[in-house]
Amino acid sequence: MAAVVGVVGELLITGGLVLGLFVVYSLWWTNVIADREARKESDRVREHWAAGDSGGPGALDTKDGIGFLHVPSMTSGEILVKKGTDPKELNQGIAGYYTKPVKSALPQDRSGNFSLAAHRDGHGARFHNIDKIHEGDPIVFETKNTWFVYKVYKTLPKTSKYNVDVLDPVPKESGKKTEGRYITLTTCTPVYTSRHRYIVWGELVRTQDVDSKRTPPAELR
């Protein structure tokens, strides 16, 4: 009997170690890998911009990325944004704009909803601190030639992961009823789960041309 108890105990310990290693891999090592890949891709985008390549992100539909998201209240770093929300792409430590089930507008469009998604945990966890964003906070999107400055006007801490209405061109669930130039950030919630979605809405308040020194707007200084 003692031998059986000993074997069971060893199996439980082994199982705990395996589970612990899996958690370390999921929540730490995938971040390390994603951060490394994101830095490479971000450097590639900025090199294109500096070189003035016509096929660079100024076209807003390239594989390399369309620009950088800056959200001071969520992160001190920049987040590369690429086309699409395929998990394989988001796993590279980036954000992506929706092409389905609702097609996202792009920042330069005269109206619409620039809607983005990124992981909250693991794989770079770019939107991990989305709950730190509050009404009135700035969200800035940087392209090759323009800074787009948005102001957060509404957050939705919990909604169904099947609620695609939050991505509508006019996000009525946010209280808006007329066309405008909106931005929407989406990610999983609660932390370490994917049961629901956390939503942040912002509205464009102004644009600023990029100068030769790429001086950031006042909201980022």
Question: What number of other Cβ atoms are within 10 A of residue 198's Cβ?
Answer: 21
CA dist 88 and 71 (Å) reads 23
Is residue 201 annotated as a catalytic residue, yes or no? no
Catalytic residue, chosen from 80, 152, 188, 204, is 188
Q: Which two tokens stand for residue 65?
A: 């990325």
Q: Cα dihedral angle (45, 46, 47, 51), rounded to 10 degrees?
A: 110
- 132, 200 contact by CB (below 8 A): no
Taking phi over 0 as left and psi of -120 to 50 as alpha, with beta for the rest, 40 belongs to alpha
Of 123, 155, 161, 156, which is closest to residue 139 (Cα–Cα)?
155
The helix/strand/coil state of 165 is helix
Question: Catalytic residue positions?
Answer: 188
